[in-house]
Amino acid sequence: MPQANVDANVEDISQALSDLRQAMWRLGGLMRDVHQAALTEPSAAHLLIPLVTQWPGIRVGDLARHRGVSLSTVSRQVEQLVRDGWVRAEVDPADQRAHRLFLTEHGETGVRVAKDRMAECVLTRLGADRAARLPAAVAALTDVLELLSGNEMPATPAAADAPSR
């Protein structure tokens, strides 16, 4: 590849990463707005609910690894979700020291309501045409980000493979 093309690619890639960083920063504000619209009492603990929803029976330690935060931070957040009635923690039969997490009936209802409110918020901000293209755009971006970060998310964490009771 000629040097001029390499230099142009470097500049394009550098600009794209800079644009992505700015877009991600703006996305944080959007997500805060969406959470406030969707949840009556949003908190950092509620960021765990999508993982518990996706992987019923996930261990607290696996939640910490997936979120990239300390076990003590996630443990405090899980305690809050249990107190608020969103999640129940069950002792892991394979390891009595570990706990597996499941949504309660209240949590399942809250997730349904939150999803409806989030969809309304996204439709209002994007319109129907752009909102319909969102899943494909997110999938493509997620693929690229996983490759860049080297942190591909597994389809199912091994720790959540146990059936719920």
- What pLDDT sits at residue 39? 62
> Which 8-state DSSP code applies to residue 73?
H
The reply to whether the predicted model has a pTM over 0.95 is: no
Give the sheet arrangement for strand 95-103, strand by strand: 58-59, 95-103, 87-92
What is the spatial distance between Cα 65 and Cα 75, in angstroms, rounded to a whole number?
A: 12
The pLDDT confidence band at residue 152, using thresholds 50, 70 and 90, is low
Structure tokens at 127: 């319109």
pLDDT digits (tens, 9 = 90+) for 95-131: 998 899 999 999 998 888 888 888 888 899 899 999 9
CB neighbourhood size of 134 (10 A):
12
> Of the CATH numbers 1.10.8.50, 3.40.309.10, 1.10.10.10, 3.10.20.70, which one belongs to the domain with range 3-160?
1.10.10.10
The domain ranges of the chain are: 3-160
